[in-house]
């Protein structure tokens, strides 16, 4: 299978993620518990799977299959496997697809968190415009999944656990342990009240943008 679509056109038709309780206060134990949760996800992936309405996670093959991209009306591609040696945007010349590349390494020591906000903003703008987004890396289980989880936390106001529950039912993903720690840190920041303003919300039409407070 190449692309697997699941969600109806209406966002309101999507069931809420199943509630799971995991204590993230102990980072070491939290990573272990999150991995256990992730292992209960979808066993067999397509090249690309719809994990949120109009948002796909996929592998490199899904990103270069221009016929499937056209058939599924993909309008935006976020490549977490971008390389300066090759311009991924060239794949989409003449296709009216907006491309955003992030040069990231699937290593526990790589700081993916510096890309969380920019990736979330790219995905949010695309979906707000009615677009269809493919976020991919080489295999579509670690780097791309990490960025989608961060988007769901920053823009859809999900906790990390709820974001994982939403994604894993539609695609089996397993961010490396370093990425999981960074997502735990993001979750902690989003859940920590700001000294002055708590958590800020910027309302844009019917959606809201969740910001991290870094001291006031």
Neighbours of 59 (CB within 10 A): 19
The confidence band for 193, taking pLDDT boundaries of 50, 70 and 90, is confident
**Listed range (12-26, 88-102, 112-126, 132-146) with the worst mean pLDDT:** 12-26
CA dist., res. 132 & res. 101, Å (int): 16
**Which residues are catalytic, by number?**
137
The confidence band for 21, taking pLDDT boundaries of 50, 70 and 90, is confident
Question: Which residues have a Cβ under 8 Å from the Cβ of 99 and sit 6 or more positions away?
Answer: 76, 77, 79, 88, 89, 91, 92
Domains of the chain (ranges; CATH) run 18-191 (3.90.190.10)
Structure confidence by residue, pLDDT tens digits, 27-51:
667 999 999 999 998 888 999 999 9
Structure confidence by residue, pLDDT tens digits, 117-149:
999 999 999 999 999 999 999 999 999 999 999
Global confidence as pTM: 0.84
The confidence band for 84, taking pLDDT boundaries of 50, 70 and 90, is confident
Give Cα separations from 53 to 5, 11, 138 (angstroms): 9, 6, 22
CA-based angle 161:163:167, to the nearest 5? 120
Higher pLDDT, 11 or 31: 31
Q: Which of 195, 107, 93, 192 is nearest to 143 (CA)?
A: 107
Mapped onto helix, strand or coil, the DSSP state of residue 83 is: strand
Locate tokens 């679509």: which residue? 5
């Amino acid at each position: 299978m190449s692309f697997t679509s699941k969600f109806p056109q209406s966002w309101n038709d999507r069931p809420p993620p199943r509630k799971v309780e995991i204590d993230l206060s102990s980072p070491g134990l939290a990573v272990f518990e999150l991995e256990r949760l992730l292992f209960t996800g979808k066993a067999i992936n397509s090249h690309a799977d719809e994990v949120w309405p109009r948002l796909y996670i996929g592998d490199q093959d899904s990103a270069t299959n221009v016929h499937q991209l056209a058939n599924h009306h993909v309008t935006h591609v976020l490549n977490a496997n971008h390389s300066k040696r090759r311009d991924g945007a060239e794949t989409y010349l003449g296709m009216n697809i907006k491309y955003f590349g992030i040069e990231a390494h699937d290593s526990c020591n790589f700081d993916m968190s510096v890309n969380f906000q920019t990736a979330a903003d790219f995905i949010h703008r695309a979906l707000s415009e009615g677009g269809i987004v493919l976020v991919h890396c080489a295999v579509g289980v670690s780097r791309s999944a990490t960025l989608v989880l961060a988007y769901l936390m920053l823009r859809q106001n999900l906790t990390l656990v709820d974001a994982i529950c939403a994604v894993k039912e539609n695609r089996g993903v397993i961010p490396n342990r370093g990425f999981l720690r960074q997502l735990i840190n993001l979750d902690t920041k989003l859940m920590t009240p700001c000294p002055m303003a708590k958590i800020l919300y910027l309302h844009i039409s019917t959606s809201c943008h969740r910001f991290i407070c870094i001291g006031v």
